[in-house]
Structure 1
């Protein structure tokens, strides 16, 4: 019998980088301005460190396909598990839709092709369904995609960082860097982008759902999270520094990410380097979606098998047992969102979909952090291969501080805290979308049979 391919530690680390490092989220963070570095450092300490420690303990103590759903269900029961699985799943097709609407512009940069509305729609739908098709196959069959995407992401981010520093040295600093500008202003614009930084630091638990395909998950999971987290933090800060010193903040678009930054740094919309970078960036979008699909689909399918998601999500392939029902629902929802997108008042489709994706994603994590503390008390006799050390007051701090960060990020992302026309046009679709997602999730919980 042919042995099943297994993750090495190196592959696990690259998978963490592929999952957690989100290249397309670079621009919204850079749009904060010089104070982004304060927020990076602040959130690395107050969010990434406690979240990484909590994920390592929960992931090695309770390894399963259910991931965060399983942890919350063990701590608080099936209704809370159903909520987590719903928000965790619904964020994915929204994110998939946000990247799909970017594809026509990237293809235009690579090929020079300028199509109309119909051809752009078809290209977006093609992106969605290629991702869905690949997600029908086991993660170990797609390691080359994940590893390749991780390497490309690192290359693009480091290139932006180096190029930005070169431009700043040769042409002067684009933004003023003083103690005053580096400190946070606490204006609504910058605070609304904090959720993007937190989003950039989430996803470590996905590696826990790959445990059955690892050589030694009890060692590899915490090692991959710690090493991968340090590498990711370094890449983020370096690339953010390159963008921040070379591009005026007001010129940074929240929609275009690294490619827009490269165009501004090179003072050119086209050229061979832009074409190659756009093509590589497009590949990373596939890598992101494929890596996340494994964790999201496994969690949704596992929850459906426990009657905490609609039954269709529990459908598996007879050939390889992959969660095809959840994958198909990803494609259906993303397709509906993209097809209906022309009806939205905010024509910045990427940011509209991405913001709603942020809100639902962050909502799924709110019960995860206290579940760590509850399970430590509730199941104290369970063996923990990786155990967060510290007294009770320290464990409470590790839970409370990142929860506060999540709540603040949710408020500033989902709610229109100003009522001018521009803000309402940008925020209301997100607010309404959040209400719809919450109502659908709560409706299912009310109707489901225990």
Structure 2
């Protein structure tokens, strides 16, 4: 076996889990939920069940079946084309640029507290700015070097700077609780009340659980990713859930709800440790944890954006890696953008309100991105290239798969809606609920638009995505049907298609699924003009109906339907005219011969279409040409259908 370490395969399940934990777990989100007390258990439990587990399973399936560098960008591009893939990658990246400001501000709050303890002085605005820029650019430059150093720092920083402080916080909270000094309200109600401001915290709980996809960007560096990656996802989920529940309750135990600050509540809780030396030590560890969090998020999403840039979304000179494989130039551009945002944040009048609004807008962007990831998982679940068919799949079969994915999509939509509710505990947001919702929506749209509008220099992969086709094929697969088309494409410009056996009105439904699954095939069917009245006429035309006026005269053959339809076919550049040869849904001992005479008149082949209910298969079978011996030809065609079962087999070909 080849040496995986020599090929860059340096990450095992524990390392990948630590990258995921470092990307997700931080104490910064918890004060926003901690004032809910025991209700926070409900928020995190529901968010874990309805969002975190579905997205973890979806990322595990996508990551193991498509082990290519690029993560979200690759998955969504494989499903919907590179433009939508770029939008998904853009949403993740622009969310990060907003979040960096929040993390840096929290680091400054920690530094400020350390200075108060040691130097008995606060940090000035200018020094705050210099420190924030120093922290960010230090981590940016650190990511110019090989991945193994960045991965090691993320793992060690998460343990030292996030998990150990959390354990200390939890231990002190337990001690405080057992000594009867807890500020945690009694557990009178675990379910939240009908106050929409409280229910909106479900969106924040989901936001706290985002980031599991970040480890997927390191799949090229994972040992045996098809087995290792799903194990890492499970380990990440177990650790994250335990830490979040216990840490949130610990903050609620240590800090009274009426003085809890949503932007620095975790620091308030650390201050309750009492001993200044211990407090400073823990806060220094938290700084290291924040730095490792920055380190993880600074580089990972840029890898997806880098691949998008190499496909034409950015200038060539911007998307070159340095000798260590790092997207150095994109890191510099990102650093400049974040620097401007940091400058604006430092001198803002209401940091608490800004902190909250950044949190909400970031969660909106991420939820939209996750909806695209879930949709891509549905699309790619049924694509089984030989080299990818052995990847991890969500267990339980088709129906469990769709249940898991649809629950994930539902939770994202609910989070999007709940995030528009104005919070009651942020008094510095001094405008109406309506204006608050409009502002959040407007800012979110403005941040999404560049992903759609940014010009691309190449047409590679920019195919037009046919939603009708994919939905039709998806519905068919969901119902357990297989769609086949064995007719040569060159024969599909003009032909007579017979559909048999026709025993039920359900044949029309499945026929339409086939039609829209192959939009390049111009499948049409004749219908009498009398039923083409408004508004049914618009629907029927969209489905492919061609109205036939059976009373029209002056055509060759007078009222002869074969002549009318032959002229219609000859006037068309491309048409597959579908006909039911039985002429009825009941059993027909003898077929109508119109399709045969129409084929003779137009010199077009007859394609044998079928719907086999027994095997749940439908499609276009072989084609044939009339030989002039009508009885023999129809008998040969019927032989093909004898092994095909209609909805009601006794009414089909016997």
Normalised to the residue count of structure 2, the TM-score between the two structures is 0.63
Matching of residue 390 in structure 1 with residue 400 in structure 2: no
Q: 1:9 to 1:70 in 2, by over 3 A?
A: same
Measure the CA separation in 2 of the matches of 1:294 and 1:328: 11
Tell me the residue number matched to 2:444.
434
TM-superposed deviation, 1:134: 1.4
Measure the CA separation in 2 of the matches of 1:378 and 1:5: 27
Measure the CA separation in 2 of the matches of 1:167 and 1:201: 27
Tell me the residue number matched to 1:9.
13
TM-superposed deviation, 1:413: 2.4
Tell me the residue number matched to 2:131.
123
* Higher helix residue share: 1
- Partner-residue secondary structure (3-state), 2:339: helix
Structure 1 stretches lacking a partner, 5+ long = none
Q: Deviations over 1:95-119 (max 9, x none)?
A: 1111222333222222335232222
Measure the CA separation in 2 of the matches of 1:313 and 1:415: 44
Q: 2:282 aligns with which of 277, 281, 299?
A: 277
Structure 2 stretches lacking a partner, 5+ long = 463-654
Matching of residue 355 in structure 1 with residue 360 in structure 2: yes
Q: 1:312 to 1:272 in 2, by over 3 A?
A: farther
Tell me the residue number matched to 2:307.
302
CA contact (8 A) 1:356 1:414 kept: no
Measure the CA separation in 2 of the matches of 1:38 and 1:318: 47
Q: Which range is displaced more, 81-90 or 8-17? A: 8-17
Matching of residue 404 in structure 1 with residue 413 in structure 2: no
Matching of residue 290 in structure 1 with residue 300 in structure 2: no
Q: Deviations over 1:181-231 (max 9, x none)?
A: 211224233233323321222222222221222232222211111112111
Tell me the residue number matched to 1:155.
164
Measure the CA separation in 1 of the matches of 2:37 and 2:436: 20
Q: 1:9 to 1:30 in 2, by over 3 A?
A: same
CA contact (8 A) 1:87 1:364 kept: yes
Tell me the residue number matched to 2:49.
45
TM-superposed deviation, 1:141: 1.9
CA contact (8 A) 2:37 2:185 kept: no
CA contact (8 A) 1:52 1:204 kept: yes
Q: 1:431 to 1:341 in 2, by over 3 A?
A: farther
CA contact (8 A) 2:73 2:308 kept: yes
Q: 1:232 to 1:99 in 2, by over 3 A?
A: same
Q: 1:288 to 1:372 in 2, by over 3 A?
A: same
Matches within 5 A, 1:186-205: 186-205=194-213
Measure the CA separation in 2 of the matches of 1:246 and 1:393: 45
Count of aligned residue pairs for this structure pair: 445
TM-superposed deviation, 1:415: 6.0
Matching of residue 221 in structure 1 with residue 226 in structure 2: no
Q: Deviations over 1:124-170 (max 9, x none)?
A: 11122112111222321223311212212111112111211211111
Q: Deviations over 1:281-311 (max 9, x none)?
A: 111111011112232110110111123x433
Measure the CA separation in 2 of the matches of 1:390 and 1:408: 25
Matches within 5 A, 1:136-155: 136-152=144-160, 153-155=162-164
Q: 2:183 aligns with which of 174, 187, 204?
A: 174
Q: 1:272 to 1:224 in 2, by over 3 A?
A: same
CA contact (8 A) 2:47 2:206 kept: yes
Tell me the residue number matched to 1:57.
61
- Partner-residue secondary structure (3-state), 2:419: helix
CA contact (8 A) 1:102 1:350 kept: no
